[in-house]
Amino acid sequence: MLSADFSLEATRPSAAEIAALADILPRGTPVYFSAVPTLTAQELVAGSALLRKGGLEPVVHIAARRIPAAADLQDLLTRLHAEADVRRLLVIGGDVDTAGAFPDALAVIQKGRLREAGIEEIGIAGYPEGHARIPPDRMEAALDQKIATARAAGLRVHIVSQFSFSPDAVVAWLKRLRACGIAVPVKVGMVGPTSLTALLRYAKRCGVNASLRGLASGAGAGLLGNVGPDAILAALDVAPGIGEASPHYFSFGGVLQTARYACDAAAGRIAVSHAMAQSNSA
């Protein structure tokens, strides 16, 4: 079952939440620590250490354009490895107009001396619904370049996608990646159970325009209470030609609620309509 191998994204989890996650999630579950601009290096290191102590796998977001100097990155990576045994990163550009030492994620992969700092694997970002700063015809080429650079540096690499609410968009994007020869594992971004109001707010903030239009114009009509990723999970379970893919849950509705949902989905305790998924993804 595709949903059995999942990862989770947490935005500034408290010590109490991390302790609860350690009780809920299987040991070794990757928990991605979001690159919130107001998060200090000390908070990032301390939170990562708590995740490691709880038997979980901390994966730290590194936002390239928010790094003032190369020495700051090296200091952070040294501390993360020494105090939390961090071995995995998610390297992203960071949606800010000005840059410090690194103009984009590729520059961090090329010049960040990640392997020397104990990093073994990185994630890079993918966008099923496109990206406002990257022309569509450059998306796959940019992924190819990052993957080749990471491998040349001795790093394993996977893709983590921006969340979407559209099974059709996700499946079509995965098939397009595979048709372009991009065969690395993909962690498919999806939102855990969240209120429709919250989904609309986060979709606007993150530029998920196609899904937002679908929800706002009636595709989400009749959705009351929480909306979950059931339809996307079902579509991925039956879609051919998508390669190695697994769920990556964004916890906008609360990290503990999302963790419980992820475990229930992995254990088959959440029923999804595969017939509907096959119809939507045909």
pLDDT confidence of residue 282: 40
Total residue length of the chain = 282
In a domain, 214, yes or no: no
In a domain, 237, yes or no: yes
Which residues of the chain register pLDDT less than 50? 210, 217-225, 273-282
In a domain, 167, yes or no: yes
- Rounded CA-CA distance 186/35 in Å is 20
pLDDT confidence of residue 152: 97
pLDDT confidence of residue 252: 82
233, 267 contact by CB (below 8 A) = no
In a domain, 199, yes or no: no
In a domain, 196, yes or no: no
pLDDT confidence of residue 276: 39
pLDDT confidence of residue 275: 39
113 sits in the region (left: phi over 0; alpha: psi -120 to 50; else beta) called: left
In a domain, 127, yes or no: yes
How many domains are contained in the chain?
1
Which CATH number covers residue 176? 3.20.20.220
Element (H, E) at 247: strand 245-250
In a domain, 159, yes or no: yes
In a domain, 37, yes or no: yes
pLDDT confidence of residue 263: 95
174 sits in the region (left: phi over 0; alpha: psi -120 to 50; else beta) called: alpha
Nearest to 170 by CA among 222, 210, 216, 206: 210
DSSP secondary structure string for all residues of 60-120: EEEEGGG---HHHHHHHHHHHHHHH---EEEEE--S-S--SS-SSHHHHHHHS-TGGGT--
pLDDT confidence of residue 198: 67
Measure CA 153 to chain center.
22
Residue 138's domain comprises: 2-191+227-280
